[in-house]
Amino acid sequence: MPVFTVKSTAALERAIRLKRQLMAFYSYCLLWAGTFIGVELAAFEPNTPTLALLALIVIINVFFYLLIRTGISEQFRDPSLTIVQMAAGILLTTAILHYSRELRGAMLSIYFMVMTFGVLALDRRRMLLIAAFTQLCFTSLLIYEWFEAPQQAIFSYLVGHWLILALGLGWFIYMGGYIHNLQSRVREQRRRLHEAHNRLSAIAVRDDLTGLYNRRHFLERLEEEMSRANRENNPLHLAIIDLDHFKQVNDTYGHHAGDDVLHRFAQLAAMGLRKSDLLARYGGEEFVVLFPHTSTQACQAAMERLRNRFAQQHYSFSGDLRSKFSAGLTPYQPGESAEEFIKRADRALYQAKDLGRNRIQLAN
Ligand SMILES: Nc1nc2c(ncn2[C@@H]2O[C@H](COP(=O)(O)OP(=O)(O)OP(=O)(O)O)[C@@H](O)[C@H]2O)c(=O)[nH]1
């Protein structure tokens, strides 16, 4: 069952990544459409290779889509490949900027569009890295254009564009770091909440002293096991156990000694019974065991084993105390209520007490 959950979570995450990839493709298409319209309106260089750009966009997206789809990207620390994808977007934007003329200033915002992809995924250090890469690409473009056609370059524009980009990127580094910290804090709080919830759930079903299940949890599980036994027609047995003359232990050696005995019984029973048996502290010095899928003989044998082991225990507070218990054991009769089932086991327990204690009494 857990394997299935892990698998489906991985599949879900991959589906989210593929969806994000489609979003990236959509953004690329908008960028291309803007470029195409820009060329048509003569706001871009007329020799802008729009078809080559479109081919490049498709190649980039198919490449990343396949990496994610085939699961190859999962070998990397970030299976969404955010940094590499952003770097590809920045390189393509730089290429498009080369052909932009009057629209250069407006087209700088495309860099910022690419940066938004990193805000939710990258920490401040990585945002700084990708921002430095962006600034480097743009600076290289400006230097290239300066040397290629110095007569067309207007120095104040170059410096202006360079500064606007640097300031905008600075804002993204700050914002990215802030949002990343916020996300980390939320994740940490969610983790703590989850832990606290698990702790509380454990406390709600356990008995403080022995660590066994408590009466409320037992009664809930009893109903479940009874309906399963009714459904599947499987044997189900209930044993109610009561430590013998326990008051004397308290009165003679003190409450702490009594607690030790209860604790020792709980340990022995938990170790000696099967994982599928449901053991709980029913109250005071009373315990219950529910045996699903077990024959009467096997239940009796398990109870006898426990009785013998318990009677052989030595306690640090008294060399000669041998604590014992009596128990009533009964099989579930199909269709009966929990109350009837428990009452029969209880009656058997009282018979065991009446017959001299330190025994397991069966009631059919
Ligand atoms: N130390 C300790 N004692 C407890 C706890 N819960 C109940 N008891 C004591 O268990 C004793 C139960 O006494 P009784 O009901 O008279 O039963 P008993 O002395 O075992 O006598 P029989 O059952 O007839 O053999 C009481 O003295 C309770 O105070 C507990 O958590 N710790």
**Ligand 1, CB within 6 Å, residue ranges:** 209, 242-247, 250, 255, 258-259, 262, 284-285, 353, 357
- Per-residue pLDDT tens over the stretch 131-151: 999 999 999 999 999 998 888
What mean pLDDT do residues 88-107 have? 90
In this prediction, does ipTM exceed 0.85? yes
- Per-residue pLDDT tens over the stretch 207-252: 999 999 999 999 999 999 999 999 999 999 999 999 999 999 999 9
Task: State the DSSP H helix or E strand holding residue 146, giving kind and residue range, or none if neither.
Answer: helix 124-148
* CATH superfamily of the 215-362 domain: Reverse transcriptase/Diguanylate cyclase domain (3.30.70.270)
pLDDT of residue 8: 65
- For ligand 1, atom 32, the nearest C-alpha belongs to 259
- For ligand 1, atom 13, the nearest C-alpha belongs to 247
- Per-residue pLDDT tens over the stretch 305-354: 999 999 999 999 988 899 999 999 999 999 999 999 999 999 999 999 99
Q: No. of H helices and E strands in the chain? A: 11, 5
Which of the residues are catalytic? 285
Q: Which residues, at least 6 apart from 14, have a Cβ–Cβ distance to it below 8 Å?
A: 68, 69, 71, 74, 79
What is the atom index within ligand 1 of the atom nearest the CA of 250? 1
The yes-or-no verdict on residue 6 having pLDDT over 60 is no
pTM: 0.62
- Distance from the alpha carbon of residue 297 to the mean position of ligand 1, in angstroms: 29
For CATH 3.30.70.270, the residue range(s) in the chain are 215-362
Alpha-carbon Rg for the chain, nearest whole angstrom, is 37
pLDDT of residue 4: 42
What is the atom index within ligand 1 of the atom nearest the CA of 242? 23
Rounded Cα distance between 167 and 162, Å, is: 9
> Exposed, middle or buried, 357 (CB in 10 Å: 0-12/13-18/19+)?
middle
Amino acid making up residue 130 = I
- Distance from the alpha carbon of residue 35 to the mean position of ligand 1, in angstroms: 86
